[in-house]
Amino acid sequence: MDLNEIKDPSFLKELDIRQLNQLAQDIRYFLINNISKTGGHLSSNLGIVELTIALHYVFNSPKDKILFDVGHQSYVHKILTGRANQFKTLRKYQGLSGFQKRCESSHDVWEAGHSSTALSGAVAMAIARDLNNQDFSVIPVVGDAAMVGGESLEALNHLGSINNKVIIILNDNQMAIGKSVGGFGDFLSSIRLSGTYNNLKQDYRNITSKNKIGKMVFNVSKRVKDFVKHGLIDDTIFEDFGVDYLGPVNGHDLDDLIRVLNLAKISKTSVVVHVVTKKGRGYRYAENDYAGKWHGIAPFNVNDGTIKHPEPKDKISWSKLVANHIEKNMAEDEDIIAITPAMIHGSAMDNIFKHYPNRSFDVGIAEEHALTFTAGLAVANKKPFISIYSSFLQRAYDQVNHDIARMDLGCLISVDRCGFVGADGPTHHGVFDIGFLNPLPNVIICTPSNAKDAKRFINTYLVNNDHPYILRIPRGYIKDEVVKCNELIPIGKWKIENNDNYDVTIICYGQNVNMIRDYFTDKDIKVRLVDALFIKPMDLEMLEQLVDDKPLIIYETELKINSLASNIAYYYSQKGILKQIYSFGVDDHFSVQGSINEILKDEGLDMESFYQNIKEIIDEKRKN
Ligand SMILES: Cc1ncc(C[n+]2csc(CCOP(=O)(O)OP(=O)(O)O)c2C)c(N)n1
Ligand SMILES: CC(=O)[C@@H](O)[C@H](O)COP(=O)(O)O
Ligand SMILES: [Mg+2]
């Protein structure tokens, strides 16, 4: 069928199983073709096609509330709720979001981007529903990896102690971005392998078969488990929490899915429906992709699975640069331990895990644990290196503060995806970490502009191991000119270029140093450029030297509040130095999705706008 004609999911109710299966095929074809052009979260969506169809078949969205955890797997839901015709704009500037987005549709009742929040939202909605005497179902759809994110378990624990019904769909594909890790995965595997599925299949059919007047035979006053004969079901972890369990059900069998969801719908109590799916199903390159390459994929050629715009040949990703340097040092220093909260591939740590399996730990989607685990290793005289995305570090702020900075522990926290990340948008931009890390005592924060400084910073940590070292790197590429580097870096020292003949001073850090240097090379405005690679401690000596009668401009692609600019202004004010500062950065709002250039433009931080602004500042100053 033409998916662009879908207005809302009500049409599904008229379809029979054969037609629903045909629809599933059409959706898979649509997803593969569209995502091959735009890029996006392919694998998770291919795996959830039948489940999403069944959910919209059995329930009545938006009256019934379907919440997708993370939301990266909500593309099928978007198609069924009338947004297929917007897929050309998926994850683009002003286009369709890659996650559920409340402003896009009344069917999107929840928003996320970060994992393990849907259950908390669902429990709250169920309680509010019952307080209001309303009648609808609340259905969080949670992945097997997101289910063990701490917040999910906190919400499950809460749910077990109340009488407000939630239908939890556990989408078990045995994968996070790569392979799922941890004891919970083993527990799910043991259920899958137990043979219960086949026995339950008959139970479901018996229970949900209709009587002569077409009513469900299931007695709604009873709990689901009283109707399921076969099973070990009683001893699932969910039952221990006080929530019923149904499953496992084959997540690609629409007939079974519909029966089980109907059962969950009429159950009196909260229930976990355990649905077994295959990530990447239907596209051979994405199936069995245990490294996670196809989880979030750039535009690709459908026929051979090759990426359309591969990485630049003369550059290396910042993540890889850092991971390679750590790996090299791991060969010589047995105390180095590498940690990631579920982001091996994105953090380019694949080789570290391959070559040092005993000294590398993927702790799952568990940012809080990951940081306190880092603290524990430091206390045990190891040299922990943790790589974590800036926006996911927001989850573990207390751990950096209370467990690491307060004890002044030696560790290296590589904060990846700093600044704008592009298509993932507001949930993922790394624009807040300076604001929240800078106030912490004892931390050293460095945002290098080049590969050599990044390596020198890592080396300094490995040699001194005396404080929390925070290395900030962006999503992007850099030239790795000095492959071998054993040098150390002087902590808190900035660098200055063109100190003699200039119209303005620009202070910036990270890859913006290179962008600004390149842009102004042939411009009529002569720039004295300061590479403020240390956000903390700042180079106070240099800061005092920078004061003259020329405009002092600070350019950041981070939030202006609690920024380097505000720290500099505060320092000058404390010193009684009267100097106007022109601060360019992200205003007090969440930045949009799009290409980096589009986002810069949207923020007024693109080089053309920046240049015009500086021209106006210079003209204004000349007038006075
Ligand atoms: C707090 C947080 N940490 C990490 C991520 C990155 N991330 C996005 S999806 C994902 C894997 C989710 O696995 P699962 O919940 O099983 O869903 P699946 O993709 O397998 O359907 C991860 C680690 C995130 N979005 N949020
Ligand atoms: C949904 C999610 O959180 C991740 O899949 C994220 O999109 C990865 O981003 P990168 O592509 O920057 O690794
Ligand atoms: Mg999964």
To the question of whether residue 113 is assigned a binding role by annotation, the answer is: yes
Compute the distance between CA of residue 148 and CA of residue 182 in angstroms, rounded to an integer: 9
Record the pTM.
Answer: 0.95
Ligand 2 atom with the smallest distance to the CA of 345 is 13
Output the pLDDT for position 473: 98
Query: Which of 51-55, 184-188, 364-368 comes out lowest in average pLDDT?
Result: 184-188
370-415 pLDDT tens trace:
999 999 999 999 999 999 999 999 999 999 999 999 999 999 999 9
**Helix or strand run (H / E) with residue 446:** strand 444-446
User: How many C-beta neighbours within 10 Å does residue 436 have?
Assistant: 16
**Helix or strand run (H / E) with residue 274:** strand 271-276
Report the percentage of the chain scoring pLDDT > 70. Answer: 94
Query: Which of 37-51, 147-161, 184-198, 293-307 comes out lowest in average pLDDT?
Result: 184-198
167-177 pLDDT tens trace:
999 999 999 99
586-614 pLDDT tens trace:
999 999 999 999 999 999 999 999 999 99
What residue type is 231 in one-letter code?
G
Q: How far is the CA of 290 from the centre of ligand 3 (A)?
A: 11
**Is 104 strand, coil or helix?**
coil
Residue 230 has pLDDT above 60, yes or no: no
User: How many C-beta neighbours within 10 Å does residue 583 have?
Assistant: 18
How many alpha carbons lie under 13 Å from residue 352 in its C-beta half-sphere? 32
28-37 pLDDT tens trace:
999 999 999 9
Residue 212 has pLDDT above 50, yes or no: no
Nearest to 598 by CA among 590, 606, 586, 587: 606
The structure tokens listed for 421 are 């990340």
Compute the distance between CA of residue 517 and CA of residue 511 in angstroms, rounded to an integer: 10
Q: How far is the CA of 409 from the centre of ligand 3 (A)?
A: 34
Structure confidence at residue 210 as a pLDDT band (50, 70, 90):
low
Residue 215, C-beta contacts closer than 8 angstroms, at least 6 positions apart: none
Ligand 1 atom with the smallest distance to the CA of 41 is 19
In the chain, count of helices (H) and strands (E)?
A: 23, 19
Q: What is the ipTM of this complex?
A: 0.99
Task: List, as one string, the DSSP characters of 552-612.
Answer: EEEEEEEESTTSHHHHHHHHHHHHT----EEEEEE-SS----S-HHHHHHHTT-SHHHHHH
Higher pLDDT, 475 or 213: 475
Q: How far is the CA of 205 from the centre of ligand 1 (A)?
A: 33
Task: List, as one string, the DSSP characters of 105-171.
Answer: -TT-----SSSS-HHHHHHHHHHHHHHTT----EEEEEEHHHHTSHHHHHHHHHHTTS----EEEEE
Q: Are strands 504-508 and 360-362 parallel, antiparallel or unpaired?
A: unpaired
Residue 163 has pLDDT above 90, yes or no: yes
Q: Which of 111, 340, 414, 428 to mutate to test the pocket of ligand 2 (most atoms within 8 A of CB)?
A: 428
How many alpha carbons lie under 13 Å from residue 36 in its C-beta half-sphere? 16
Is residue 555 left, alpha or beta, with left meaning phi > 0 and alpha meaning psi from -120 to 50? Answer: beta
136-160 pLDDT tens trace:
999 999 999 999 999 999 999 999 9
Q: Which of 75, 175, 424 to mutate to test the pocket of ligand 2 (most atoms within 8 A of CB)?
A: 424
Q: Who lines ligand 1 at CB under 6 A?
A: 44, 70, 72-73, 114-115, 143-146, 171, 173, 175-177, 279, 342, 365, 367, 392, 395
Q: How far is the CA of 366 from the centre of ligand 1 (A)?
A: 11
Ligand 2 atom with the smallest distance to the CA of 343 is 13
Please report which ligand is nearest the Cα atom of 177: 1
Compute the distance between CA of residue 405 and CA of residue 443 in angstroms, rounded to an integer: 6
Q: How far is the CA of 95 from the centre of ligand 3 (A)?
A: 26
Compute the distance between CA of residue 497 and CA of residue 346 in angstroms, rounded to an integer: 34
**Helix or strand run (H / E) with residue 516:** helix 511-520
For ligand 1, atom 21, name the residue with the nearest CA: 44
233 lines ligand 2 (CB under 6 A): no
296 lines ligand 2 (CB under 6 A): yes
Q: Is the separation of the CB atoms in 477 and 417 below 8 Å?
A: no
Q: Which domains does the chain have, with CATH numbers?
A: 3-276 (3.40.50.970), 316-478 (3.40.50.970), 495-623 (3.40.50.920)
417 lines ligand 2 (CB under 6 A): yes
Q: How far is the CA of 167 from the centre of ligand 3 (A)?
A: 18
Output the pLDDT for position 231: 44
Please report which ligand is nearest the Cα atom of 145: 1
Residue 235 has pLDDT above 80, yes or no: no
Compute the distance between CA of residue 337 and CA of residue 302 in angstroms, rounded to an integer: 39
For ligand 2, atom 13, name the residue with the nearest CA: 346
Q: How far is the CA of 515 from the centre of ligand 1 (A)?
A: 32
Dihedral sign (CA 91, 92, 94, 96):
negative
Q: Which of 365, 415, 424, 427 to mutate to test the pocket of ligand 1 (most atoms within 8 A of CB)?
A: 365
Nearest to 200 by CA among 226, 220, 223, 230: 230
The structure tokens listed for 205 are 């059919």
Output the pLDDT for position 197: 56
Q: Are strands 581-586 and 552-559 parallel, antiparallel or unpaired?
A: parallel
Reduce the secondary structure of 290-357 to three states and give it as a string. Answer: CCCCCCCECCECCCCCCECCCCCCCCEEHHHHHHHHHHHHHHHCCCEEEEECCCCCCCCCHHHHHHCH
Compute the distance between CA of residue 358 and CA of residue 344 in angstroms, rounded to an integer: 15
Output the pLDDT for position 109: 98
238-265 pLDDT tens trace:
998 999 999 999 999 999 999 999 999 9
Mean pLDDT within 86-112 = 98
